[in-house]
Every structure is written in structure tokens, then in C-alpha cells.
């Protein structure tokens, strides 16, 4: 009986480790590393050699490729960070998420009034003045 429980716990642990492994090595989490390695490889083997060679056409091509990689990297980081205040939708406040019934003023209960009388009606004195 103890072996069955232990074997079941092992499978549960293995499943959670598999899920952690899948989550850690998913495309979504590895994408920044892949893009970073691609940019470094382009800089190392395409842009820097093209800028140092004694050919004007290749210098211009390497410079243009460098500018293109810089623009791509800027846009990629801007998309990943996502803290751009220009992307916020207009007119959102905390009141947009509050139930409208909670915003209405609540009617106070009048302790002098009998329960048979509705609270929306004004209070009428029933005592006679002496």
C-alpha cells in the first residue's frame, strides 16, 4: 500500500516537473533569448564586417542593416515592456468598473417612521400639538 502511494506521489511530482519544464522552455519564454542571439549574430557576422571592409557599397549595406536591426530591436522591446502611456484607451477611470447601483446615494432609514410607511414618502408627524 505504501508503495502505491509513493508511486502516485512520484507521478504527481513528475507531472508538475513536466509542466514546469514545458512552461520554462515554451516559445513565449524563449522568444527574447532567440531574438537577442539573432541580433548578436547579425552584429557579429554581418554588420561589423560590412562596416570595416574597404567597399563603399558593402559599408552602406551594413549601415542600413544596422539601422534596420536597431529599429527592430527598439520596436520589439517597446512591445514586450508595454508601458507606453499612449496605448491606454481613452476615458478609463476606476468609476468605469464600479457597479452603477453602488454609486446611487443610499436612503437612510428613519427610526421614527413606522415600518408600514414607505421610506420614499416624507415623514408626517402624527402627534397633536398642545
22-26: Cβ within 8 A, 24+ apart: none
Q: Could you give the CA distance from residue 28 to residue 72 in angstroms, rounded to a whole number?
A: 18
Q: Could you give the CA distance from residue 80 to residue 87 in angstroms, rounded to a whole number?
A: 13
pLDDT at 80 (0 to 100): 85
Three cell numbers at 24? Answer: 520554462
Q: Which residues contact 39 (CB under 8 A, 6 or more apart)?
A: 69, 72, 73
Quote the longest CA-to-CA distance of the chain: 115
Burial of 84 (0-12, 13-18, 19+ CB in 10 A): exposed
**pLDDT tens sequence across 59-117:** 999 999 999 999 999 999 988 887 656 655 666 677 677 777 777 777 776 666 666 65
Amino acid at each position: 500500500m505504501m508503495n502505491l502511494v509513493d508511486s502516485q506521489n512520484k507521478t504527481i511530482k513528475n507531472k508538475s516537473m513536466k509542466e514546469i519544464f514545458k512552461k520554462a522552455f515554451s516559445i513565449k519564454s524563449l522568444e527574447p533569448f532567440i531574438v537577442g542571439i539573432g541580433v548578436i549574430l547579425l552584429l557579429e557576422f554581418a554588420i561589423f564586417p560590412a562596416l570595416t571592409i574597404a567597399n563603399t557599397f558593402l559599408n552602406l549595406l551594413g549601415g542600413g542593416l544596422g539601422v534596420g536591426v536597431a529599429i527592430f530591436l527598439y520596436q520589439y522591446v517597446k512591445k514586450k515592456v508595454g508601458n507606453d502611456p499612449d496605448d491606454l484607451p481613452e476615458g478609463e477611470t476606476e468609476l468605469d468598473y464600479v457597479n452603477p447601483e453602488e454609486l446611487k446615494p443610499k436612503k437612510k432609514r428613519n427610526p421614527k417612521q413606522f415600518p408600514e410607511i414607505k421610506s420614499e414618502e416624507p415623514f408626517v408627524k402624527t402627534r397633536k400639538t398642545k
